[in-house]
Amino acid sequence: MNEIIDALNKFRDEREWSQFHNPKDLSVALSIEAGELLEAFLWKQPEDADPDKIKEELADVFSFAFLLADACQLDVKDIVL
Amino acid sequence: MNEIIDALNKFRDEREWSQFHNPKDLSVALSIEAGELLEAFLWKQPEDADPDKIKEELADVFSFAFLLADACQLDVKDIVL
Amino acid sequence: MNEIIDALNKFRDEREWSQFHNPKDLSVALSIEAGELLEAFLWKQPEDADPDKIKEELADVFSFAFLLADACQLDVKDIVL
Amino acid sequence: MNEIIDALNKFRDEREWSQFHNPKDLSVALSIEAGELLEAFLWKQPEDADPDKIKEELADVFSFAFLLADACQLDVKDIVL
C-alpha cells in the first residue's frame, strides 16, 4: 500500500495540488467519486453494470481514500482491521 | 492488502452476509459511508473535524471499497496505478 | 408543486422510463445528482462555485426528489413541515 | 413552496444557523442526507424499504435542497421546468 500512496502523492505534487488537498475537500471528492461509481449501477441489475466504468470509478474512490488517510496520518491496515 | 481483504471476507462469511453483497449494494453501501465520513466535516473548517469520526468512517469506506474490488475481481494496486 | 410533479411525470412517461423508476433506483439517482452538485464546490471557497452548474445540478436533485416522493405517495409539504 | 421555504428559514433563524449555511456546506448536508435516504434501501429489494425512514430522510433532503435554492436565490419551479 505504501507504493500506492507514494505514487498518489507524487502525482499530486507534480501538479501542485497539495494546496487544495485539505481533508474536507478530499472527503467531498471521495463522496463525488462514490456517486460516479454508483452511476455504473443505476437503473440496472447488479450483474449488468459496465465493468470498465466500475474499474475506473473504484480506482478514483481508492485514490481519494488513500490521499485522505495520508493527509490524516492514518494507516489503512490499522484502521480497517 | 491481501491480509485486509481476507479479514473482511472472513468477517462477512461468519455473518453469512455474502448473499447480500452484490456489487450494486456494495456500491450503495460505499456511498452511504462516504456520506457519513462527510458528516465529520459538516459546518466546520477542515481542521476542526473530529479525528475519531474520520478514522471510523474512513475505515468503513475502505472496507466496502475492498469488498467491492474483491467482488469484481479487481486488484486495487492494478486499478489505481 | 403539483405542476412540477405533473411535468416530471409527463417527461418520464413520454420516454417510457416508469419501468426503471422504482424507489431504490430513484434514491440512487438522487444521491448521484447530489454528488454532481457537490462538484460545483470542490476545491473551492463557497462563493467561487459556478452558478450555472449549481442551477443545473440542483434542478436534477429536485427532479429525482419529486419523482421519489411521488413514487412513494408522499406529499412534500406534509413531510417537510 | 414559499410556505415551505419561509418555515425552513424561520426554523434556521431561530437557531442562529444562518452563519453556517453557506452554499458549500448546504450542498454537503444535502449529499449526507441523500446517503441516509439510501440507507432505507440498502441490502433490500425496492419494495422492502421502511416507509417511515424514506419519509424522514426524504424530508431532510428536501429541506436542504430548498435552503440551498434559497441561499443561491434560485426559484425551484424555474430551474426544474
Residues 41-70 of D with CB under 8 A from B: 41-43
Over the stretch D44-70, which tens digit does the pLDDT of each residue have?
A: 999 999 999 999 999 999 999 999 999
For the question of whether the overall pTM of this predicted structure is more than 0.90, the answer is: yes
The DSSP secondary-structure symbol of C46 reads: G
| Predicted local distance difference test score (pLDDT) of residue A77 | 95
| Predicted local distance difference test score (pLDDT) of residue B1 | 87
Other C-beta atoms within 10 Å of C44: how many? 14
Q: What is the spatial distance between Cα D18 and Cα C28, in angstroms, rounded to a whole number? A: 29
When scoring C10, C24, C76 by the number of chain D Cβ atoms within 10 A, the one with the most, hence best to mutate, is C24
pLDDT band at B70 (very low <50, low <70, confident <90, very high): very high
B partners (3+ CB pairs within 8 A) are: A, D
Over the stretch C11-28, which tens digit does the pLDDT of each residue have?
A: 999 999 999 899 999 999
User: Within its chain, how far is the Cα of D47 from the centroid?
Assistant: 23
Positions of chain C with pLDDT under 70: none
In degrees, rounded to 5, the angle at the alpha carbon of residue B79 between the alpha carbons of residues B67 and B4 is 35
Average pLDDT over residues B51-69: 98
Asked if B70 contacts B6 with a C-beta cutoff of 8 angstroms, the reply is: no
Distances in whole angstroms, Cα of residue B11 to Cα of each of A80, B14, B50? 12, 5, 27
With H, G, I as helix, E, B as strand and everything else as coil, classify residue C16.
Answer: coil
Above pLDDT 70, what percent of chain D? 100
Residues 2-41 of A with CB under 8 A from B: 3-4, 7-8, 22-25, 27-28, 30-31, 34-35, 37-38, 40-41
Q: What is the spatial distance between Cα D27 and Cα D32, in angstroms, rounded to a whole number? A: 9
Q: Residue D5's closest CA among D81, D80, D54, D74? A: D74
Q: What is the spatial distance between Cα B32 and Cα B10, in angstroms, rounded to a whole number? A: 22
Sign for the CA dihedral angle at D42, B6, B77, C43 comes to: positive
